[in-house]
Amino acid sequence: MDHLDDQRPPSGGPSGPQLRILSYNIKSLQMDATAVRDVIRESDPDVVAIQEPCRYLTGGRRRMRALAAATGTVCVIPGGSPFGAYTTALLVARRHEGAVVRRRGRPLSWRWWRRRDLRAWPTRRGSALVDLGDVVVVSVHLGLDARERLDHCAEVARLVERAGAARCVVAGDLNEEPGGPAWQALGTLLHDAVPEAPGLTFAAPKPRRRIDGVLIGDGFEVISSRVLRTPAALRGSDHLPLLVDVARRV
When divided into structural domains, the chain yields a total of 1
- CATH code of the domain covering residue 56: 3.60.10.10
13, part of any domain: no
Cα–Cα distance for residue pair 180/33, rounded to 1 Å: 31
Is the per-residue pLDDT at 79 higher than 60?
yes
Q: What percent of the chain has pLDDT over 90?
A: 78
For all residues of the chain together, what is the average pLDDT?
90
Cα–Cα distance for residue pair 64/60, rounded to 1 Å: 6
Is the per-residue pLDDT at 73 higher than 70?
yes
SS3 assignment, position 229: coil
11, part of any domain: no
pLDDT at 4: 40
pLDDT band at residue 213, thresholds of 50, 70 and 90?
Answer: very high
pLDDT digits (tens, 9 = 90+) for 5-46: 344 454 444 447 899 999 999 999 999 999 999 999 999 999
26, part of any domain: yes
pLDDT at 123: 85
7, part of any domain: no
Q: Count of CB atoms within 10 A of residue 45's CB?
A: 26
80, part of any domain: yes
SS3 assignment, position 207: coil
The order of strands in the sheet holding 242-248 is 73-77, 88-93, 47-51, 18-25, 242-248, 220-227
Q: Residue 238: which domain range?
A: 18-111+124-248
Cα–Cα distance for residue pair 201/15, rounded to 1 Å: 31
65, part of any domain: yes
236, part of any domain: yes
Is the per-residue pLDDT at 163 higher than 80?
yes
183, part of any domain: yes
